[in-house]
Chains A and B, each alone.
Chain A
Amino acid sequence: MFSSHLKRASFGLAAAGILAAASIGAQAQQKEIKIGVIYDYTGPLAAGGSSLQALGAKIVIDYFNSQGGVEGYKINAIYADAQSKPDVAINEAVRLIEQENVDMLLGFYSSAQCVPVSAKVDALKKFMWITTCISPAVLKDRNLKYVFRAQPHGGLFGLQSPEFLAHYAKDRLGIEPGDLKVAIIHEDGAYGSGVAGGNKAGAKQQGFKVVLKEGYSATAPDLSSLVTKLKRARPDVILHTGYNPDITLFLRQARELGLRFKALVGHGAGYGVPDKLFDAFGKDANHIFNVDPVSIWLVSPEVLEPGLPDITRMVGEQYRKAEPDTKEFSAHVGMAASNSYVFFSDVLPRAIKKYGGIDADSLRQAALETDIPVGGTLMGYGVKFNPPEHEMAGQNDRASPVIVQYIDNKAHIVWPKALQSLDPVLPLPKDSPYAK
């Protein structure tokens, strides 16, 4: 009798033990960080670079999950499509936060989406990690607490091109910087306006003559009046910021209407997808410059911390697997991959280990302590976020873009000089239909 009681009790105890162990196991398995990932998978911005950015983020998320997650947390990513529309981006952000109960948001390609979404997410006290959108307006004078951006901001994009031109104006173009005529044209959203603002400030700093500065809608069906005005203003250099359909329309109409210039400098987005430019214009796309965060595949492995070149290689392999037809790797994929990698390798582990969790305040504290030196990210630049009292709080102070020049669908770094892999071809060679 007794023995059977004992037996039963020990059996029960064992069962309870197994159950408890199972529940702990289940708990361990369930430990996850739920992240809403928002990019544009449809609509005009998707092919303008957003879907490539989304791919970069996904590759990194999948990579960390394949390594068992981050500090015991599995990454549960919920991907949402902003459809190239700011209102959809806001709705998706709110849906992910309120209905899907995500712990944070990551992504965002379009500045027009970033500006309203960041305010909304900050008001909801959720953490937002921006991989891409560059407009200064997202962070400037807004004192956002939970929004962080590892990406260089658009003002820097705008300043970079005048600095580069001032350096080469006399030597290559035979024009004193004070006499250099530049035209600034841009799509009129937050992104284009932000960069163009930087262009204007940079041109003023360098003493250029700005002969035309004008915005236009990225969906405008006709840009011929703009081209005609440019012909009349006769700029030596055109500084252009736009998405994709507008860039190809502009270049096509510029060619048809006989617009001539000595150099064309693009600033990311549509200019960041050389495959598309060369598809549409063939050799005519040669010698276009583009200001963008550096493509991770152009960064010399020697300047990076050990281990990072392997990640770059892994991202490239996964990119090739997902898009087998790619001829030249787009900087877009590497950009999102690098900026996502910073979050998962630096911020998230610190939040979990030091601040005990993945809530917005822990993530914020961890992000504020980020201190990555130059060479510590896939893109080569360091990461240190501006403190809360800064006018651009949450912006990475150590990020800056580079300038590349496209020749036969290959990108070569031409600026800053320290990273230069090609002496820039300036002015446009005479065989270009745009050559002055």
Chain B
Amino acid sequence: MDTIFDIYLLEALINGLLFGGVLALLSLGLNLIFGVVDVVWICYAEVVMFGMYAIFWLHGVYDLPIVLAALLAIIGTGAMGFLVHFLVISPILGSAPINQLLATGGLLFFLQSFATLLWGIEFRNIGLRLPVLQWGELFFSYARLLAFGIAVIGMAAIYLFLTRTYMGTAIRAISQDREIMTLMGVDSRKVYLVTSVVGGSLAGLAASLLVLQYDVHPFVGLSFGPITFVICVMGGLGNMVGGFIAAFILSEVISIGGFYAELEWGYVAAFVLFIIVMFIRPEGILGKKS
């Protein structure tokens, strides 16, 4: 037990990996939207929160099967993605980036307050207790394993969508040069809308997995919003593979740091690493130099 490498360190490593899955899934949608629409949805975690509420009501209260509830939540947050783009982003697409940031920031407070108004401040959970997975001395979180698996599948699916479909190709083309594609007859508004819907749906997917592990309340986004944003920036805003890598690096630093020192030091180490990366590569790990 006094050796540096012990079974608990292995557990911390695995925990970090699985937590990375959760963070990677969260960063996927945010990165996609930024990569294409070039607007940062500061309120992304709040869209996830609405997805979590949807599952809570559909499964926890109206007793729909969890998978169906999750599917409906994904459709719901997809629709929300559409609305956010149509009502908030679209009118300010040409404005200065700071205005766009302020608008989505304002939307964050609006969504938090709106959720408080609709559902109150109660912490709610679906009361689902998943089985415990044990392998010798090691224990795994079922929900996290699921999140990890789905994050990997989600990443692969998005990759295939972007490389193998016409719409995916259009999305990539727009993200490379938005002006020229419009001249070539691509309807950029449609591409933006599709991207926002896909991004919103990914928030719903993340919500389906988070709701298995976390209580839902109007401020649940505060626990995830900042770290998701940091991951996206560290990976290279708009770069999904970069975000994926950054998610796992940060989660391991948090987990191992928190294992060797106090939990909070894990976060300190993660943010110090973030600052260092920003100094060395301001565009992020895989970001393109602008």
Q: Which residues of A does B touch, CB under 8 Å?
A: 41-44, 46-48, 51, 84, 188, 214-217, 219-226, 228-229, 231-232, 244-245, 248-249, 252-253, 255-258, 276, 279-282, 284, 433
Closest 3 CB pairs of A and B: A225-B258, A46-B121, A258-B139
Residue pair B142, A256 in contact (C-beta under 8 Å): yes
Residue pair B215, A280 in contact (C-beta under 8 Å): yes
Residue pair A224, B129 in contact (C-beta under 8 Å): no
Residue pair B219, A256 in contact (C-beta under 8 Å): no
Chain B positions 230-261 with a Cβ under 8 Å from a chain A Cβ: 251, 254-259
CA distance A433 to B139 in the complex (A): 13
CA distance A43 to B223 in the complex (A): 12
Residue pair B11, A228 in contact (C-beta under 8 Å): yes
Q: Which residues of B contact A232 (CB under 8 A)?
A: 1, 6, 8
CA distance A42 to B112 in the complex (A): 10
15 more A-B contacts (CB under 8 A) besides A249-B215, A258-B132?
A: A42-B113, A47-B121, A47-B217, A215-B264, A219-B222, A220-B267, A221-B224, A225-B259, A226-B263, A244-B123, A249-B213, A279-B124, A279-B125, A280-B125, A433-B132
Residue pair A220, B116 in contact (C-beta under 8 Å): no
Q: Which residues of B contact A253 (CB under 8 A)?
A: 141
Residue pair A216, B1 in contact (C-beta under 8 Å): no
Residue pair A220, B263 in contact (C-beta under 8 Å): yes
Kindly state whether residue B273 has any CB partner on chain A within 8 Å.
no
The CB with the most chain B CB atoms within 10 A, among A228, A257, A280, is that of A228
Q: Which residues of B contact A226 (CB under 8 A)?
A: 258, 263
Residue pair A44, B219 in contact (C-beta under 8 Å): yes
Residue pair B139, A257 in contact (C-beta under 8 Å): yes
Residue pair B121, A225 in contact (C-beta under 8 Å): no
| 12 sample A-B contacts, Cβ–Cβ < 8 Å, listed by A number | A42-B121, A47-B122, A217-B267, A220-B263, A225-B12, A225-B15, A225-B259, A255-B129, A257-B141, A280-B125, A280-B127, A280-B215
- B61 CB to nearest chain A CB (Å): 12
Kindly state whether residue B197 has any CB partner on chain A within 8 Å.
no
The CB with the most chain A CB atoms within 10 A, among B15, B116, B132, B259, is that of B15
Kindly state whether residue B143 has any CB partner on chain A within 8 Å.
yes
CA distance A219 to B227 in the complex (A): 12
Q: Which residues of A contact B255 (CB under 8 A)?
A: 222, 224-225
Residue pair A229, B259 in contact (C-beta under 8 Å): yes
Residue pair B263, A216 in contact (C-beta under 8 Å): yes
Residue pair B11, A42 in contact (C-beta under 8 Å): no
Q: Which residues of A contact B263 (CB under 8 A)?
A: 214-217, 220, 223, 225-226
Residue pair B143, A228 in contact (C-beta under 8 Å): no
- A89 CB to nearest chain B CB (Å): 16
Q: Which residues of A contact B262 (CB under 8 A)?
A: 214-216
CB nearest to A45 among chain B residues = B121
CA distance A47 to B254 in the complex (A): 28
CB nearest to B7 among chain A residues = A232
The CB with the most chain B CB atoms within 10 A, among A46, A47, A225, A284, is that of A225
CB nearest to A270 among chain B residues = B123
- A395 CB to nearest chain B CB (Å): 29
Flag B16-40 by CB within 8 Å of A: 1 or 0 each: 0001001000000000000000000
Q: Which residues of A contact B122 (CB under 8 A)?
A: 47
- A284 CB to nearest chain B CB (Å): 7
CA distance A258 to B135 in the complex (A): 11
Given A226-B263, A258-B132, A258-B139: A51 and B121 interface contact (C-beta under 8 Å): yes
Residue pair A248, B139 in contact (C-beta under 8 Å): no
Residue pair B125, A256 in contact (C-beta under 8 Å): no
Flag B150-177 by CB within 8 Å of A: 1 or 0 each: 0000000000000000000000000000
